[in-house]
Structures are given as C-alpha cells and as structure tokens.
Structure 1
Amino acid sequence: MPRFALKVEYHGAPFVGWQRQKEHVSVQGTIESALAKLEPGPHTIAAAGRTDAGVHGLGQVAHCDMTRDWDPFRLSEALNYHLKPNPIAIVACSRVDDDWHARFSALERQYLFRILTRRAPATHDKGQVWQVSNPLNVQEMQRAADMLLGKHDFTTFRSTICQALSPIKTLDELRVEQVDGFAGTEVHFHVRARSFLHNQVRSFVGTLERVGAGSWTPEDVRDALGAKERAACGPVCPPQGLYLAGVVYSQDPFA
C-alpha cells in the first residue's frame, strides 16, 4: 500500500481538534472522509501532533496509506476538492517509504503563538489571535522565557490530563518577538522542541503574558518552574492564537 505524506493547513475554529471523535467534527475525521471518497473503505491517518479545539495548523504533517499508487499532485488536488468547504487544505503531498511515520519520524515540532495588543476589537484576525488590551513588555517576557530553555521537569506547565509518561522535556527555543502589522502591534512566540506536553505552549504563553503586563517578574516564572506543581502556573491562554507551524524530519519529505 503506497504511503503518502501530507502537509496540512487548517483553521481550527470549526473543529474539536485534530483527533477523530465519533460525534464531533475533527480535522482528522474530515480528511479521512475525503479519502474515503477517493478510495472506498475505512481510512486512518496519523499526524505529527494532535492539536486541541480552536488551534490552527500551518504546517501539520500527516501520512495516509492508499491502495492505488497516486500521483502526489493528483492526490492533493482530489483531496482539496472533497475537503470543500471545510477550512482545510493539503498544501503539499509526496510519496514516502512504507516505514516513514508522520509522528515517530519527526525530530522537532515548531509552534507559533500570536497575541494582538490593542483595545479595539479584532475584525479580520478574530479567531486567529489572542487579543489583550494592554501593551506588553517584550524584553521582560524574553528574559523570563530564557529561564525555561533546556531540559526541565515541566510539571508546572503540564495539563492535569496530560498522558505523557514523563514531564521531563527539552525546550530548544522560546523566542518572543514584537511585530508591527496593519491591525496593530502583535507579540509572536516562536517555540521549538522535539515534543511537548499537553497545553505546554499555552501554559508558557499565558504565564509570560503576565510578565509582559507587569503582574509577574521573570523570577516568578523561574520559581514556578522550580515548584513542579500545576498550581504554580499562570493562566492558560486561549487556543485561538496557537498554530502548529511546522515539523522537522531528517529529510524533508516535501523537498
């Protein structure tokens, strides 16, 4: 059965998240339904990461097994036709080895989080950013973020329903950037690691926002990390500003 890698872009608002659920609309389930229109029978796809409800995908990667040896371009075009009008797009498709796996072959996941800092309600970016009305101190947020880099026990920044076997992870990048756009000033968080705990990125951003607003100090973040207990975490930010931006493999399947 030929295996294909899919690079998937989606707007997370209409979905309960990536993972298939029987009575709710998910990104995975919607793509599997489109595949069934191309080749009858049940389809199961695997993804590099499972995003929560409301979280978006810019560079999600999944793989599917087909019975027919499709031309990758034809497969992506056919899928995009059957995915309409859902806000999901297959932006790249390629044939991969039978033992290649979207999740287990991945070396790194990259996330982007966007905060819009303005008082007027968001219009064009509504549902795609977390909006706060107060300006944020990017320098202080970066100083706090630097304290989270490296290998740590991230229990404080882990959801109580996280199913990971260990809270110990290595954070490779947590970069805070101010971006001045047409809609106003945004603060972007660029986050990289091999893998993440459930709600880890949103816990980071919600806590760092408190630093940027002046309610926390960078030292408070260091102490929260050292506490190794969920109660020490700052507020968990909403999902709509979070994007799975990319996945890194030893060889880019879409190159």
Structure 2
Amino acid sequence: MNILLDLSFDGSGFCGFQVQKNGRSVCEAVQNALEAVLGERPDVKGCSRTDAGVHALHYALSFCAAPAVSLEKLPLALNQNLPPAIRVNSARQAPEGFHARYAAHAKTYVYRIWNSPIDSPFEAGYYYRAPGALDVAAMQQAADHFVGRHDFLSLCAANCEAAKRGSTVRTITRCEVERAGALVSITVTADGYLYNMVRILAGTLLRAGQHKLEPGAVPALLEARDRAKAGPTLPAQGLFLKSVEYEI
C-alpha cells in the first residue's frame, strides 16, 4: 500500500531532508528506521527539500510497502528506531500513485524572530535574534504586498534551479506577521516556493520592521526580478515547516 507519514523533526543536527554525502540527513534516518521495522528499505518521497538546520512541525513523507504491523502501531515502532530529534506522529494509507511532494497543493512555513537584546535560554536554537525595536505594523504592511500571484525571482537564491529551467511565479495566499512578547512570527502559505524564498522574504520584512525598507517599495522590488533588491537571507534555524495540505 501507499503510506503517508506525518513527521516532526529538529533540523539542528541534520544536513536537510534529502540524503547527502556531506552529513546526516533526515531521510537517511527515516529509511534506517523503516528498514529496521519493515525488513526492507523503501524509496521515500518527501514533501519538501528542507535545507540544513530547518525544522518541521509537520513534514509529509510517502512510500510503498506491505507493513507487518498496523498503520496505528507503525509510528510507535518507527519511533523506537529513530533518533530523538525525529518523531513520526501518524501513518495513514494514501491513494495509489500518491506522491508527498507533487500532491501537495499548499505548504505553510513559519519564520521566528526573537526581538530582544537578550537570548532565551530555552529557545536560542529556534529563532533569529533581532535586538533592535521592530515595527510589526510596518512588517505587516510590507507582507500584504507579497500576497497574490507574482514572479518571486527577487526572493530566490542566486543558485536557484527554478530560475534556470522553470517558472519563478508562485502564489502566496497568506503572509502574516504577529507578535507575542519578544517573539515575532512570520507565517506564509503558498502553492510552492523557490530556493530560500521564505528566509529571504523574512529578511525583507525584517528590513521593513527596522524602517530600512518602505512597505510600499515591495511591488517594485518584485517587478525588478533582482535578488539584490530584497533583504538578507535569514538563518535556517528560525524556519519551521508548519503544515502541508492535501486533498485526500
């Protein structure tokens, strides 16, 4: 059967989701656990190519297998064979031919900024710290201009493959900035993303919050299709994949 897993992971100690030669990946750890439980090493399909250091609250992964244990017990069996930084939350049957990446019609990411001159002793590995005052209202004004269908080449890293061989047009349906004490959260929902797109978007909104970028300058920034016009790429440690939406 085709199986869909929901994972949570702390990306701090991993080189990203995909298997790589230069370090430990989330995918390799999950495949090791699957092999230990199923007696085979299935080919897995991840919903996103998360970068090194990026975290996930809910990451979707699909594979085909005939498990000897029930889908209800499969998460418990896998978790016994996974490092503590990765947990399987649930397992369910997916339609034949289902692919976790290509079947996703929307993904939501959250970028966390700690707006304080003092680090949190509990969450320092899970945000980017901006010590100076941030104008969250200005950040939201800038964020509103990103909503809609646009060419996001200005928010694409220089080595973005989509810019070389595909379209850089994406649709953002939600871009919200919220403050809870020192924590400023940027939530973005889109039908797809370019390489480093959310981290560059967050860096651009940060500049708006620092009054280094006028919110009304965002449309011209997008029209320029020039990476140099946007803000910095904020560190991976502040980025979380929050959810993936499917029509199943």
What's the CA shift string for 1:139-198, capped at 9, x where partnerless?
A: 111111111111111110011222221111111111111112xxxx11111100111111
What's the counterpart of residue 20 of structure 1? 19
1:227 counterpart = 2:224: yes
Instruction: Write the letter of the residue equivalent to 2:80.
Output: Y
Residues 144 and 222, structure 1, Cα contact 8 Å, conserved in 2: no
What's the counterpart of residue 145 of structure 1? 143
Secondary structure (helix, strand or coil) at the match of 2:157 reads coil
Partners of 2:193 and 2:235 lie apart in 1 by 17
Residues 111 and 186, structure 2, Cα contact 8 Å, conserved in 1: yes
Partners of 1:173 and 1:128 lie apart in 2 by 22
Deviation at 1:39, TM superposition (A): 2.5
Secondary structure (helix, strand or coil) at the match of 2:36 reads helix
What's the counterpart of residue 248 of structure 1? 245
Secondary structure (helix, strand or coil) at the match of 2:27 reads helix
In the superposition, the TM-score normalised over structure 1's length comes to 0.92
The root-mean-square deviation of aligned C-alpha atoms, in Å, is: 1.3
Greater Cα offset, 2-11 or 69-78: 69-78
What's the counterpart of residue 32 of structure 1? 31
Deviation at 1:69, TM superposition (A): 5.1
5+ long unaligned stretches in structure 1: none
What's the counterpart of residue 134 of structure 2? 136
Secondary structure (helix, strand or coil) at the match of 1:219 reads helix
CA separation of 1:9 and 1:170: change in aligned 2, threshold 3 A:
same
Secondary structure (helix, strand or coil) at the match of 2:125 reads coil
Of residues 213, 216, 229, the one that matches 2:213 is 216
Partners of 1:163 and 1:70 lie apart in 2 by 40
Residues 122 and 131, structure 1, Cα contact 8 Å, conserved in 2: no
CA separation of 1:98 and 1:69: change in aligned 2, threshold 3 A:
farther
What's the counterpart of residue 46 of structure 2? 47
Count how many residue pairs are aligned between Structure 1 and Structure 2. Answer: 245
Runs of 4+ more than 6 Å apart: none
What's the counterpart of residue 176 of structure 2? 175
Deviation at 1:222, TM superposition (A): 2.7
1:65 counterpart = 2:59: no
Residues 108 and 248, structure 1, Cα contact 8 Å, conserved in 2: yes
Percent of matched pairs sharing the same residue: 32
Partners of 1:241 and 1:206 lie apart in 2 by 11
What's the counterpart of residue 114 of structure 2? 116
Partners of 2:83 and 2:221 lie apart in 1 by 45
CA separation of 1:43 and 1:117: change in aligned 2, threshold 3 A:
same
Secondary structure (helix, strand or coil) at the match of 1:63 reads strand
Deviation at 1:42, TM superposition (A): 3.1
Deviation at 1:18, TM superposition (A): 0.8
Partners of 1:152 and 1:96 lie apart in 2 by 32
Deviation at 1:52, TM superposition (A): 0.5
